[in-house]
Structures are given as structure tokens and as C-alpha cells.
Amino acid sequence: MTEQAHRFTFDQQHALNIASRDLEKEFEGIFNAATIERFLHTSYDQFAPGSTVTQFLPLLAARFARQRLTALARVEDKMNDGRPVVLFLCVHNAGRSQMALGFFRHLAGDRAIAWSGGSEPGQEVNPAAVAAMEEVGIDISSEFPKPWTDEVVRAADVVVSMGCGDACPIFPGKRYEEWTLDDPAGKDVAAVRPVRDEIEQRVRTLLSELDVTV
């Protein structure tokens, strides 16, 4: 792909090449190949330092790059279908924001867009949060902690912070909400259930305020 290719194993390079071609088709007429490659490589770099399962890095990079490119296209008014966008933020993007994302996507379907991020992303989604969501029929096991980026925040109509504090990015013209919720980190499923249920009610209220039918 570039002179950076030596950083990757053969299998990683092959997977990144495929991901780049797929993204070029998806964003044809919106972004050029150089922009897509740059986003793919910088997305890869977000996960590589702390990753213990390197074979999944190209997949994570491609998913994150797709989200970032979609956000940038909305910011630059190159791709905007009018659907509201909500960004859920917490510290590790491993529990509260992932459960909120799961409920939002489950309830809103394709009528609204939701993303999530963390100020200090963890290594994996909290297993207790995954189990608690599974109890209500929502699978968040394929999600992964990720940071937020400027284009993602700028593309959001509503930014919901759950304990980010001063680390929460502030951009003018955004609707900001602070949801005070217990951090499920280190808790078992029984302790996470009340947090899960409160998040569901808050997400339902937010969707109602956004006039999104559930």
C-alpha cells in the first residue's frame, strides 16, 4: 500500500489491502484512495500498541476507519441522510457506553446512527456487560473499545458523556448530556443489571426526544 507496508506481516498486509479496496468502493466519489489509506493506517495504529491478538487488527482498523470516514463525510456535508447521530462516551468504552450503543441500535434500527468511544479505551468490552445485555437479547460481544476522534465528535448531533469529566471533547453547536451511572468495571452481572436497566430507560427517553420511533 505504501512505504509503511514493512510494519505489517504478510497476512496483515493482505487483509489491509482488501479492506482498502472495499472502503474505496464504499466511498467512491467521496474520498480518494490516499485519504482512505491514511485513515486505515491511523486507525490501525490506534489498536496496535496494546493488542494481544494481532490477527484481528486489520478488521478492527477497517471497522474504525469506516466509522471515521462516514463521520468526516457527514462533517463535510458529502454524505448526510438526515438521520440523527448520537455519540456515547465513557472512560474505557468497555461498559456503559457499549451498553448504551447496544440499546440504541437495537431500538432505533436504521432510523438513527450511534457510535461510542472512550478517553482511555480498554482492551475488551466488559464480559459482565456483554452477559447482562445478552440477558435482554442484545449481542454486544463483537464490539471493541475505541477512542473518539475529532471527526466523530463533530459529526454527532448529541454527545452523551458517562463519567468522562474534563476529558470529554467540547465542540460548539452540539447537544451535550451527562449521564451519571455506576461504572460496571470489576462488577459481576448481578451488579451490572441495574446499570443496564437505567441505561435502557435513558436511551428510550433520548430516542423519544429525537423523534425516533422505537
Categorize the per-residue pLDDT at 53 as very low, low, confident or very high, splitting at 50, 70 and 90: low
Final residue of a domain: which of 28, 56, 80? Answer: 80
Query: Of the listed 57, 99, 164, 207, which one is catalytic?
Result: 164
- pLDDT computed for residue 51 by the predictor: 62
Average pLDDT over residues 188-214: 97
For the entire predicted model, the pTM comes to 0.90
- pLDDT computed for residue 211 by the predictor: 95
Q: Supply the range of the domain harboring residue 184.
A: 82-214
Catalytic residue status for 128:
no
Q: Which long-range contacts (CB under 8 A, 24 or more apart) does 105-110 make?
A: 106/137, 106/138, 107/203, 107/204, 107/207, 107/214, 108/207, 108/212, 108/214, 110/83
Query: Hey, how many other C-beta atoms are within 10 angstroms of the C-beta on 3?
Result: 6
- Looking at the fold, whether 121 and 68 belong to one and the same domain comes out as no
- pLDDT computed for residue 197 by the predictor: 98
Categorize the per-residue pLDDT at 54 as very low, low, confident or very high, splitting at 50, 70 and 90: low
- Looking at the fold, whether 93 and 184 belong to one and the same domain comes out as yes
Final residue of a domain: which of 42, 57, 80? Answer: 80
Average pLDDT over residues 27-54: 87
Query: Of the listed 61, 168, 199, 212, which one is catalytic?
Result: 168
- pLDDT computed for residue 9 by the predictor: 81
> What CATH number is given to the structural domain containing 51?
1.10.8.1060
Catalytic residue status for 163:
no
- Looking at the fold, whether 74 and 89 belong to one and the same domain comes out as no
- Looking at the fold, whether 138 and 148 belong to one and the same domain comes out as yes
Catalytic residue status for 83:
no
Residue 1 has pLDDT above 60, yes or no: no
Residue 172 has pLDDT above 90, yes or no: no
pLDDT in tens, 173-187: 889 999 999 999 999
Final residue of a domain: which of 34, 60, 80? Answer: 80
Query: Of the listed 61, 90, 159, 162, which one is catalytic?
Result: 90
pLDDT in tens, 88-120: 999 999 999 999 999 999 999 999 999 999 989
d(CA 36, CA 143): 22
- Looking at the fold, whether 90 and 193 belong to one and the same domain comes out as yes
